[in-house]
Amino acid sequence: MAMNVGGDSGEQEVMATINTTPLVDVMLVLLIIFLITIPVITHTVPVKLPKANNIPTHNTPKDVTIAVTKDGSIFWNNAEMTNDTVLLQKIEQVALEVPQPSVHIRGDRDTDYKAIGHVLYELMRGGMVKVDFITEPHQNELSAP
């Protein structure tokens, strides 16, 4: 806190410093609120991602995420694809956009390769060019500076 104690003369001096303590208090409270609410806002299909050496990806708003669960279910941006025809129609629709968005495949670590290969085949049939695989870094890479 800032406190201005007057001198011996009876004149009051103008305080030229700004008290930033309330500003810092408010900013810390907002930071804590955002840190608590961010995990609640994130909604994704729960899959165990395989561990690999990778460079973190930067998603743009129009990137497409395809998740393949352990039992082979396919999700397009959190919406389950009921059959191959619906998946192919979605792929063909997105493939026509300019510039073509990137497709991020999040495959469960315990998924059969057949399910991932089937998604890649459908992406190829639909005309998608940019395909990325999302993995988790090894635990020792997370602690590196």
Number of residues that this document lists for the chain: 145
Percent of residues in the chain assigned helix, strand, coil, to nearest 5: 35, 15, 50
State the Cα angle at 140 between 104 and 67, rounded to 5°: 20
**6 token code pair:** 């007057």
Residues 6+ apart with CB under 8 A from 104: 57, 59, 63, 64, 65, 66, 132, 133, 134
The C-alpha torsion from 45 through 48 and 50 to 54, rounded to 10°, is 50
What pTM was estimated for this model as a whole? 0.57
pLDDT tens-place string over residues 114-142: 999 999 999 999 999 999 999 888 776 55
pLDDT tens-place string over residues 54-79: 666 665 558 899 999 999 999 999 89
pLDDT > 70? residue 91: yes
Half-sphere exposure at residue 21, Cβ-oriented, CA atoms within 13 angstroms: 5
Instruction: Round to whole Å and give the CA distance between 63 and 68.
Output: 16
* List of domains in the chain: 64-140 (3.30.420.270)
Instruction: Round to whole Å and give the CA distance between 93 and 127.
Output: 10
